Every structure is written in structure tokens, then in C-alpha cells.
Amino acid sequence: MDKIVIASRESRLAMWQAEHIQARLQTLYPGLTVEILGMTTQGDQILDKTLSKIGGKGLFVKELEQALQQGRADLAVHSIKDVPMQLPQGFSLAAICEREDPRDAVVSTRYADLADLPEGAIVGTSSLRREAQVRARFPHLQVKPLRGNVQTRLAKLDQGDYDAIILAASGLNRLGLGDRIRALLDPEDSLPAAGQGALGIEILTERTDLAALLTVLNHAETHACVSAERSLSRALGGSCQLPLGAYATLDGEQLQLSGLLAHPDGSMVLRANASAPWQYADALGRTVAKSLREQGADELIEAILEEQ
């Protein structure tokens, strides 16, 4: 193999991620030519509706997967939190790279934190998970939809459409915009999405040659944490339609996993956590999902989907 083509969305953040993997591969394999195929996905084109109403985050990866199937690209680089919990048959994640900061970040031109916002202030987010947790903690605030790439969202904040917005800290850091962060939200206050801050490399399952080449990019600790988080989300049918959070950390040999399911209006928030040896990441995710079910998760999910 002397050439690899990476499929990527064309947003600045997605291209940063693809270029990061490109640079790492070229450093590891100096004789390898690595090119990037930039693509615009449905998720990038439809900006006037929330993801939960147009088909979910799978709209950010479908065109990239088609490029893999058609042989126009060899691998696709994704933010793991944008990857559906069930990959289509014939696709697999060959590597999960070391995680950036997984926390949610508050960005504002006037206020230092969400607690400083006055009654009626407008908070922008594209995530039902973030919305539910903000509404639960700060019922006096307004939460309004915010779509678009990072630069578009920051521009809407800067022109006064919002008093504060919430973005993933990892994306801001990767784009060199960490100085825009006014506050980082503790996971206890804003539990991250499954896989937030981690990059995943998707390939066709049959490409065992690529799988062997990419193994070196896999980060064992991040892989274990993300596997537990995605297992929890998968067990509850996780999608953009559900305000669902999952966050794992590794302490020695033990994985600690926290899960959250909430009503979008913040009126009900279910929480559960458990721990297990890292080798049992998938089982740990199912255990925490079971605990949420015992608190009424299935009934809450049914109610949320009926309202939509």
C-alpha cells in the first residue's frame, strides 16, 4: 500500500481532524502518500432544522461511507460523538484515537458562566442533551436551537443572537479557539455525549490490510472509555432524539461510567453509574443502561419520542 485517501467533511473542524490523522500517518509511514477527499454531507447542508428532526447525526457520515463503498476513499475520520451507535453492516471502527477534553464549554461575550446569566437570557445549543441539563439547572433561562459549524455558531453569538452558547471544548481547542471558552462545565453538571472529544477512524470491515496499518493509532484507554459509553447509548437506542449522556473514566484497571437520560424540558433527569474492570467495557455500559431502565428510562424514552 503506497497511497491512502481519507474521506472528510469540509468544515474547518472536520478538515483539522482529517489533517491531524494525515500527519500522524505520514510520520509513522514516511513512504505513504495520504490524501484527503473533502465532502459536503446532508447534515452540513440542512441548517434550518434540529438534527433530531432531520434524521440524526448519521447524516454527517452517510456520504463518507458511500465514498468508502465506492472505492473513492480508504478511510473516514469522524468525531466519535457523530457516529451512530450501530454502524451499517460491512463497516467498522479501526481505531479510536486519544481523547481531547471531553467537557462542554460555555462561550459568551458578556458572562463568565451560565450561573451569571439573568432571567430570560438566551442560551444556544444544537444538542437536546445539553438543553435538558441547562433547563434542569437553570429553568429561568431560554434555550434556543443553534446549528452550523463552529465559526457559524460563534458568529451568531458575536452578533447578539444569543447571550451564551455551549460547544464541545475539544472542537474549540483543536481550532485554536480555546481562548473563547469562558467556563468548562463539570461532567456532573453537563454530562458529555458518548465519545465526545475522541476521533474515530472508520473503514470497510473487509479492509484487514488497513486495520493492521491503523492499529498504532488506537489509544487503549480512550477505546475502553468510549466503548463503555457507546454500549450504554446503544442499549437505550441512543440517537439525537434522546437527551442522553454517557461518560467514562479509567482509574487504574477500573472503568467508572456515568449515564444520564433526561426529558428535553429538564423536568425529569435519570442518573446512574457503575464500575467494572476495563476489559468489561461493553458489559458495563449495559449495566448502567439497566439501572436507568429500572428508574423508568423506557417510559421516558417512549414519552419523548411520542412528543416529537
In whole angstroms, what is the distance from residue 244 CA to residue 71 CA? 35
The Cα–Cα gap between 61 and 96 comes to 16
CA–CA distance, 38 with 282 (Å, rounded to integer): 33
CB-based contact 147:11 (threshold 8 Å): no
Active site residue 186: no
User: In one letter, which amino acid is 220?
Assistant: A
Phi, psi of 92 (to 5 degrees): -150, 160
Catalytic option among 2, 44, 74, 82: 82
Which amino acid type is present at position 11?
S
Instruction: Specify the residue for cell string 495520504.
Output: 34
Q: Are 109 and 101 in contact (CB under 8 A)?
A: no
Radius of gyration over every alpha carbon of the chain, rounded to an integer in angstroms: 19
Which is nearest to 1 in space by CA: 24, 37, 25, 36? 25
In the chain, the N- to C-terminal Cα span, in Å, equals 48
* 3-class secondary-structure state, position 174: helix
d(CA 299, CA 293): 8
The residues facing 255 across adjacent strands are 250, 276
Residue 103 β-bridge partners: none
- Within 111-243, strands assigned E span 122-125, 142-145, 164-168, 181-184, 199-204
Count CB neighbours of 246 within 10 A: 32
Query: Any idea which residues carry the catalytic annotation?
Result: 82
